[in-house]
Structure 1
Amino acid sequence: MPAKTWIYDAILYLYALSLLFSFSDVATKNRSAKRMGTGLLAFVWLLQSVFIVTRVMEHRYMPMLTMFEALFFYCWVLVTVSFMMNWFLRLDLLVFLVNVVGFAILALNFFSDPSVTPISEQWEAKDELVFIHITLAIGSYAAFLIAALLSGMYLFMHRQLKSKRWSAVMGRFPSLDKIEGYTYRAVLIGIPLLILSVALGTAKIMLEGDAHLLLDAKVISSLLSLAVYAFYLMQRLSGKLPGYLLAFWNLAAFTIVIANFLLFNLYSGFHQWIWM
Structure 2
Amino acid sequence: MYELKWLYELIIILYCLSIIGYFIDFIQSNRKANRIAFWLLSMVWGLQTLFLLIQMLGNSEFPISTIYDGLYFYAWILITFSLVINRLFRIDFFIFFTNVLAFFLMVLHIFTRASANATEQSLRLVSELLVTHITLAIVSYGFFTFSAIFSLMYLLQYRLLKQKKWNKWLLRLGDLGQLDSFSYIAVVLGTPLLLIANILGVIWGYTSSDEFYIFDSKTIGSFSVLIIYLVYLGLRVVRGYQGRAMSWYNTGAFLFLLVNFFLFGTLSNFHF
3-state SS of paired residue (1:213) = coil
Q: What residue is the counterpart of 2:262 in the other structure?
A: 262
> What's the CA shift string for 1:228-274, capped at 9, x where partnerless?
11121122224543401110000011111111111111222220x2x
Query: 1:13-92 maps to which residues of 2 (within 5 A)?
Result: 13-92=13-92
Distance 1:211 1:43, change over 3 A: farther
**Aligned-partner residue type, residue 5 of structure 1:** K
Q: Which moved more, 1:84-93 or 1:154-163?
A: 84-93
> What's the CA shift string for 1:84-141, capped at 9, x where partnerless?
332344321222122112212211211123389xxxx8x7111100111011001100
Q: What residue is the counterpart of 1:114 in the other structure?
A: 114
Is residue 154 of structure 2 the alignment partner of residue 158 of structure 1?
Answer: no
3-state SS of paired residue (1:65) = coil
How far did 1:190 drift?
A: 0.5
**Aligned-partner residue type, residue 155 of structure 1:** L
Distance 1:240 1:49, change over 3 A: closer
Quick one: distance in 1 between partners of 2:91 and 2:212? 34
> What's the CA shift string for 1:163-189, capped at 9, x where partnerless?
111221221122000011111110010
How far did 1:62 drift?
A: 1.1
Q: What residue is the counterpart of 1:222 in the other structure?
A: 222
Q: What residue is the counterpart of 1:10 in the other structure?
A: 10
**Aligned-partner residue type, residue 251 of structure 2:** L
- On the 8 A contact 2:154/2:176 being kept in 1, the answer is yes
Query: 1:178-193 maps to which residues of 2 (within 5 A)?
Result: 178-193=178-193
**Aligned-partner residue type, residue 256 of structure 2:** I
TM-score by length of 2: 0.92
How far did 1:215 drift?
A: 1.8
Aligned residues, how many? 268
Q: What residue is the counterpart of 2:203 in the other structure?
A: 203
Q: Structure 2: which 5+ residue stretches go unaligned? A: none
TM-score by length of 1: 0.91
**Aligned-partner residue type, residue 153 of structure 1:** M
Q: Which moved more, 1:143-152 or 1:254-263?
A: 254-263
Q: Identity of counterpart residues, as a percentage?
A: 35
- On the 8 A contact 2:143/2:186 being kept in 1, the answer is yes
> What's the CA shift string for 1:188-215, capped at 9, x where partnerless?
1010010000110111122138896222
**Aligned-partner residue type, residue 63 of structure 2:** P
RMSD between aligned residues: 2.2
